[in-house]
Amino acid sequence: MGKFIITQRINKEYQFNLKAGNGEIILTSEGYVQKASCQKGIESVKINSQDEARYDRRMAVNGKDYFVLKARNGEIIGKSQYYSSKFSMEIGISSVKKNAPTSQIVDETL
Protein backbone atom coordinates (compact mmCIF):
# COMPACT_ATOMS: atom_id res chain seq x y z
CA MET A 1 0.00 0.00 0.00
CA GLY A 2 1.24 3.48 -0.85
CA LYS A 3 1.70 6.43 1.49
CA PHE A 4 1.60 10.19 1.29
CA ILE A 5 4.50 11.48 3.39
CA ILE A 6 4.29 15.11 4.53
CA THR A 7 7.66 16.73 5.27
CA GLN A 8 9.00 20.22 5.77
CA ARG A 9 11.73 21.67 3.60
CA ILE A 10 14.68 23.69 4.86
CA ASN A 11 12.83 26.87 3.83
CA LYS A 12 9.94 25.77 6.11
CA GLU A 13 7.59 24.98 3.22
CA TYR A 14 5.57 21.77 3.42
CA GLN A 15 5.60 19.16 0.69
CA PHE A 16 4.35 15.65 0.18
CA ASN A 17 5.73 12.63 -1.58
CA LEU A 18 3.53 9.80 -2.75
CA LYS A 19 5.38 6.54 -2.25
CA ALA A 20 4.38 3.24 -3.80
CA GLY A 21 4.18 0.10 -1.69
CA ASN A 22 7.82 -0.66 -2.50
CA GLY A 23 8.92 2.69 -1.03
CA GLU A 24 9.68 4.35 -4.39
CA ILE A 25 8.66 8.02 -4.65
CA ILE A 26 6.23 8.24 -7.55
CA LEU A 27 5.00 11.84 -7.16
CA THR A 28 6.38 14.94 -5.41
CA SER A 29 4.46 18.12 -4.67
CA GLU A 30 5.45 21.72 -4.97
CA GLY A 31 6.15 23.62 -1.74
CA TYR A 32 3.27 24.90 0.40
CA VAL A 33 3.50 27.71 2.96
CA GLN A 34 0.78 26.17 5.14
CA LYS A 35 0.33 22.54 6.11
CA ALA A 36 -3.42 22.76 5.45
CA SER A 37 -2.68 23.67 1.83
CA CYS A 38 -0.37 20.66 1.57
CA GLN A 39 -3.15 18.43 2.89
CA LYS A 40 -5.56 19.89 0.32
CA GLY A 41 -2.96 19.09 -2.33
CA ILE A 42 -3.03 15.46 -1.24
CA GLU A 43 -6.82 15.37 -1.52
CA SER A 44 -6.52 16.89 -4.99
CA VAL A 45 -4.08 14.14 -6.02
CA LYS A 46 -6.46 11.47 -4.76
CA ILE A 47 -9.24 12.87 -6.96
CA ASN A 48 -7.33 14.00 -10.04
CA SER A 49 -5.07 10.95 -10.26
CA GLN A 50 -7.96 8.93 -11.65
CA ASP A 51 -8.48 11.23 -14.65
CA GLU A 52 -6.17 10.42 -17.57
CA ALA A 53 -6.60 13.96 -18.91
CA ARG A 54 -4.88 15.36 -15.80
CA TYR A 55 -1.51 13.80 -16.71
CA ASP A 56 0.85 15.92 -18.78
CA ARG A 57 3.68 13.86 -20.24
CA ARG A 58 6.88 15.84 -20.75
CA MET A 59 10.53 15.56 -21.66
CA ALA A 60 13.23 17.32 -19.63
CA VAL A 61 16.14 19.16 -21.26
CA ASN A 62 18.32 16.15 -20.41
CA GLY A 63 16.10 13.96 -22.62
CA LYS A 64 14.47 12.11 -19.72
CA ASP A 65 10.72 11.53 -19.66
CA TYR A 66 8.59 12.68 -16.73
CA PHE A 67 4.99 13.65 -16.02
CA VAL A 68 3.10 16.20 -14.02
CA LEU A 69 -0.35 15.78 -12.51
CA LYS A 70 -2.58 18.81 -12.83
CA ALA A 71 -5.68 19.85 -10.95
CA ARG A 72 -8.86 20.78 -12.75
CA ASN A 73 -7.77 24.45 -12.77
CA GLY A 74 -4.52 23.55 -14.56
CA GLU A 75 -2.26 23.99 -11.53
CA ILE A 76 0.48 21.38 -11.15
CA ILE A 77 -0.09 19.36 -7.99
CA GLY A 78 2.69 16.83 -8.41
CA LYS A 79 5.70 15.94 -10.51
CA SER A 80 7.27 12.55 -11.14
CA GLN A 81 10.87 11.51 -11.12
CA TYR A 82 12.78 11.32 -14.41
CA TYR A 83 12.42 8.08 -16.33
CA SER A 84 14.77 6.43 -18.83
CA SER A 85 11.92 5.58 -21.22
CA LYS A 86 8.33 6.45 -22.06
CA PHE A 87 7.36 2.90 -21.09
CA SER A 88 8.79 3.38 -17.58
CA MET A 89 6.99 6.71 -17.29
CA GLU A 90 3.67 5.01 -18.16
CA ILE A 91 4.31 2.48 -15.40
CA GLY A 92 4.84 5.42 -13.03
CA ILE A 93 1.52 6.95 -14.06
CA SER A 94 -0.23 3.60 -13.52
CA SER A 95 1.33 3.40 -10.08
CA VAL A 96 0.01 6.86 -9.14
CA LYS A 97 -3.46 5.88 -10.37
CA LYS A 98 -3.34 2.69 -8.33
CA ASN A 99 -1.82 4.06 -5.11
CA ALA A 100 -3.16 7.60 -4.69
CA PRO A 101 -6.83 6.93 -3.86
CA THR A 102 -6.19 4.61 -0.92
CA SER A 103 -2.81 5.77 0.39
CA GLN A 104 -2.64 6.75 4.03
CA ILE A 105 -1.18 10.09 5.07
CA VAL A 106 1.92 10.11 7.27
CA ASP A 107 2.83 13.49 8.76
CA GLU A 108 6.55 13.56 9.56
CA THR A 109 6.45 17.20 10.67
CA LEU A 110 4.92 16.44 14.08
Mean pLDDT of the residues in the chain: 97
pLDDT surpassing 90 at residue 1: no
Is the entire prediction scored with pTM above 0.75? yes
Classify residue 69: in a domain, yes or no: yes
Domain range enclosing 17: 3-103
Domain count, the chain: 1
Residues 16, 44, 5, CA angle at the centre, nearest 5°? 20
Classify residue 108: in a domain, yes or no: no
Please give the share of the chain, as a percent, with pLDDT higher than 90: 98
Kindly report the CATH number assigned to the domain that includes residue 85: 2.30.29.80
Classify residue 59: in a domain, yes or no: yes
What number of helices (H) and strands (E) belong to the chain?
Answer: 2, 7
pLDDT at site 48 = 98
pLDDT in tens, 45-97: 999 999 999 999 999 999 999 999 999 999 999 999 999 999 999 999 999 99
Classify residue 15: in a domain, yes or no: yes
d(CA 11, CA 92): 28
Classify residue 109: in a domain, yes or no: no
Classify residue 80: in a domain, yes or no: yes
